[in-house]
Amino acid sequence: MLKMKSIKPESGSIDYYINNGDNEIYLNEKIGKKISISFKNVINCIKCGRKTKTSFSQGFCYPCFKTAPEADPAIIKPELDQSHLGISRDMEWAKQNMLVDQYVYLAISGGLKVGVTKHNNIPYRWIDQGATEGIIIAKTPNRYTAGQIEVKLKDIFADKTNWRKMLTNKNDIVYNLLEEKNRAHEYIKEDFSEYLYTDNTITTINYPVEQYPDKVKSVGLDKMPEISGILTGIKGQYLIIDNNLVFNVRKHNGYLVEMNFE
């Protein structure tokens, strides 16, 4: 199992696909049907392929978790990146991923949050987070600088997705992203004026969900190797199943599963 692939059409809901060996399953047409997911007690590292008893950082064996550039701590905390100083687990990888344009953004995902992503990962970073709206507030030439801006903005914005609210689609506050962007610019312009992003495009994202849960019960294959129920929707990297169950696909990167639909 690997994270779901998402495609944003010009109109309508996100199209979701999941890999099934040599084929891809179009998940949107499975909504409303019974889904069963069976864990085969095998986990393979998504980097090197070796078997591992425990998956680290959403899909890595422990050696790759400690050495692979894709698992570098700067992926989670951009301010820790040192590739601009010539220090990296893999400088060639860093040149393609860390030393390229990065966006600092605001997104509504169970609340308002600030984040950082590579320039060509918009809107897919927002989709993976289950965001309903997103706007870019700054553009930088490397991940470290974007991380510095994010750290500054953490003074006034959250930096975590409230996944429970995101999955119940309950928003206590109505946000105006353009107003929030202006507030962000005012807060950072003294230190980061050269990176302010002036395009005010707001991206709106819709998800294929027939019914949101009233509350959420997260289920995983380590504790529940057989999961089944009616697939009622997909949002972010979560499958929403009846009886308030939610299943994080990305968390199970590298798990060998059998998936069936009726």
Tens-digit pLDDT profile for residues 55-70? 999 999 999 999 999 9
Assign 222 to helix, strand or coil: coil
Q: Return d(Cα 56, Cα 71) in angstroms, integer.
A: 9
Tens-digit pLDDT profile for residues 25-80? 999 999 999 999 999 999 999 999 999 999 999 999 999 999 999 999 999 999 99
Tell me whether residue 192 is exposed, middle or buried, using C-beta atoms within 10 angstroms of its C-beta: 0 to 12, 13 to 18, 19 or more.
buried
Confidence band (pLDDT; 50, 70, 90) for 173?
confident
Q: Return d(Cα 235, Cα 71) in angstroms, integer.
A: 24
The CB density around residue 28, as the number of other CB atoms within 10 Å, is 17
Q: Return d(Cα 17, Cα 15) in angstroms, integer.
A: 7
pLDDT at 171 over 80: no
Confidence band (pLDDT; 50, 70, 90) for 21?
confident
Tens-digit pLDDT profile for residues 128-161? 999 999 999 999 999 999 999 999 999 999 998 8
Q: Return d(Cα 37, Cα 217) in angstroms, integer.
A: 16
Q: Return d(Cα 43, Cα 185) in angstroms, integer.
A: 44
Q: Give the percent of the chain with pLDDT over 70.
A: 100
Q: Residues 127, 236: contact at Cβ < 8 Å?
A: yes
Which structure tokens are listed for 38? 């069976």
Helix locations, 81-135, DSSP H:
91-97, 124-128
Confidence band (pLDDT; 50, 70, 90) for 20?
confident
∠ CA 107-109-110, rounded to 5°: 140
Is the four-CA dihedral 210, 212, 214, 220 of positive or negative sign? Answer: positive
Q: 137, 118, 106, 47: which is closest to 78 by C-alpha?
A: 118
In 85-112, which positions are buried (b, 16+ CB within 10 angstroms) versus exposed (e)? eeebbbeebbeebbbeebbbbbbbbbbb
Tens-digit pLDDT profile for residues 79-119? 999 999 999 999 999 999 999 999 999 999 999 999 999 99
The CB density around residue 201, as the number of other CB atoms within 10 Å, is 8
Assign 226 to helix, strand or coil: strand
pTM for the model: 0.94
Which structure tokens are listed for 149? 């801006």
Confidence band (pLDDT; 50, 70, 90) for 170?
confident
Q: Return d(Cα 52, Cα 195) in angstroms, integer.
A: 42
Tens-digit pLDDT profile for residues 181-236? 999 999 999 999 999 999 999 999 999 999 999 999 999 999 999 999 999 999 99
Q: What is the DSSP string of 16-71?
A: EEEEETTEEEESGGGTTSEEEEEEEEEEB-TTT--B-SS-BTTTB-HHHHHH-GGG
In 139-173, which positions are buried (b, 16+ CB within 10 angstroms) versus exposed (e)? bbebbbbbbbbbebbeeebeeebbbebbbbbebee
